[in-house]
Structure 1
Amino acid sequence: MNQAPIGILGGTFDPVHNGHLRLAQEALEQCNLAAIHFIPSGTPPHRNAPHASAIQRLDMIRLALQGNAAFVLDEREIYRIDPCYTVDTLTALRAEHGMQQPLCLLMGGDAFLLLHSWHEWKSLFELSHIVVMQRVGHPLGNTINGANDALRDEYRTRLAPSPRILCDSPAGAILVADMPALEISATDIRKRCAEKKNIHYLLPDVVADYIQLHHLYT
């Protein structure tokens, strides 16, 4: 087996911003991914409902991804009204792409340290690899010792030394990759909108223009 993996990046994307896009581009290049599916969530089980509507979030992501053929908008979760669990989404993707296609679930270090609280979290390793994008100055190796015992055991057992394993097997590894410092958050962007501050250079101009045109987050 030597297939280029498919990356999966989920989130509310409320709104999508340059932090999301840069993380995806870093993962694409460092892990030699064939493509990355951006999957906006419908009803997230761990947080409040998004501020922007499903249609508005889809519009913003579609605008943000234009011009990059490797970035794919995947609408499978966004219209669901029951809680959207990652394990269900990965099961559906696995059924579509077959058992041999490598899949890589992308996430930040903070999200990974809470992975043990996710629904059927150990099943995720049967369905995909997990690529953790650690921020400069926040190495995962320094914080994993204080993590949940079961999560720490999985990390130590599955940690891969290089991205090559992502192509050699369809699922099961944990890879840690570096993410350049880019401190941008959707919460901060929404706050800036509410305070009528400029949001350009935090997200693509076309998304900033869309937010202003539709008076989102005010």
Structure 2
Amino acid sequence: MIGIYGGTFDPVHHGHLRTAFEVFEALNLSELRFMPCGDIPAHRNRTVATAQQRLAMIELAIRENLGGYPIRTDAREVLRSGPSYMIDSLQSLRKESGGDRPLCLIVGQDAFSGFTSWQRWEQIFDYAHIIVMTRARAVLTMNEALAARVQSTSTDLPADLRSQAAGLVYFIPVIQIDISASRIRKLAGAGRGICFLTPKPVIDFIDQQRIYR
């Protein structure tokens, strides 16, 4: 199974790395790919760092913290021209991986709550399972359409994810480190230290590029 962890990663931080590793380990994924979005659609908040900078920071973070594991970046959204939509990425990845290999799209609880606002959200289930990282004591809110989909497709057995290529929803509790990319940007912009929030090579890159100043 291939895990796909999408997001802006502006910047990537230890919260991303820890949750990615937990999902990788719990589901025994053969591979996990961080897939930073490229050209942000107009309805979403724009990033501060460029797509290439965000990709570079993820590569530095993986090299520092997850070296030796089959965890890497996937640059297809950065390289694609036009708005960045996950459905397009999953379609191209499905063509590469074949029709039988399970793909697992990894999303956070908050992102999943708004899943029906994603471009062609229902078609995403044709190409991947949805792995939802949940937080302790946090309430998951869903509209009627999403709740109906979860009711008909959710499983609590990892083996089910391996038995078919796509279409299931799986909830996995993960340790949530209280770090946010917006907080890192604010601290860096104010000239304050961001050590222990993101790997040292990422901090050095942010300082060298003066990304959030």
**Aligning the two structures, in what range does the TM-score lie when normalised by the shorter sequence?**
over 0.9
Where do residues 147-162 of structure 1 align in structure 2 (5 Å cutoff)? 147-162=142-157
Is the aligned partner of 1:118 residue 2:92?
Answer: no
Instruction: Tell me: CA distance 1:166–1:208, structure 2 relative to 1, closer, same or farther (3 Å).
Output: same
C-alpha distance in 2 between matches for 1:106 and 1:68? 21
C-alpha distance in 2 between matches for 1:182 and 1:200? 14
Listed one character per residue, the Cα deviations across residues 102-155 of structure 1 (whole Å, up to 9, x for unaligned) are: 0000000100010011111011111000000001221xxx434xx211100001
Where do residues 50-61 of structure 1 align in structure 2 (5 Å cutoff)? 50-61=47-58
Give the letter for the 2:127 counterpart.
Answer: L
Alignment partner, residue 166 of structure 2: 171
Alignment partner, residue 192 of structure 1: 187
Q: What is the CA-CA distance between 1:209 and the residue it aligns to?
A: 1.4
Q: What is the CA-CA distance between 1:72 and the residue it aligns to?
A: 1.3
2:78 aligns to what SS in structure 1? Answer: coil
Is the aligned partner of 1:15 residue 2:3?
Answer: no
Instruction: Tell me: CA distance 1:208–1:80, structure 2 relative to 1, closer, same or farther (3 Å).
Output: same
1:47 maps to which of 41, 44, 47: 44
Alignment partner, residue 38 of structure 1: 34
C-alpha distance in 1 between matches for 2:190 and 2:173? 33
C-alpha distance in 1 between matches for 2:116 and 2:127? 16
Listed one character per residue, the Cα deviations across residues 12-34 of structure 1 (whole Å, up to 9, x for unaligned) are: 11111111111110110111111
2:33 aligns to what SS in structure 1? Answer: strand
C-alpha distance in 2 between matches for 1:137 and 1:117? 25
Q: What is the CA-CA distance between 1:79 and the residue it aligns to?
A: 3.1
Alignment partner, residue 24 of structure 2: 28
Give the letter for the 1:120 counterpart.
Answer: R
Q: Aligned residues, how many? A: 209
Q: What is the CA-CA distance between 1:83 and the residue it aligns to?
A: 1.0
Instruction: Tell me: CA distance 1:184–1:68, structure 2 relative to 1, closer, same or farther (3 Å).
Output: farther
Q: List gaps (5 residues or longer) in structure 2.
A: none
TM-score by length of 2: 0.94
2:77 aligns to what SS in structure 1? Answer: coil
Whether the aligned pair in 1 keeps the contact of 2:19 and 2:176 (CA below 8 Å) is: no
Where do residues 57-68 of structure 1 align in structure 2 (5 Å cutoff)? 57-66=54-63, 67-68=67-68
Alignment partner, residue 211 of structure 2: 216
Whether the aligned pair in 1 keeps the contact of 2:39 and 2:51 (CA below 8 Å) is: no
2:183 aligns to what SS in structure 1? Answer: helix
Q: List gaps (5 residues or longer) in structure 1.
A: none
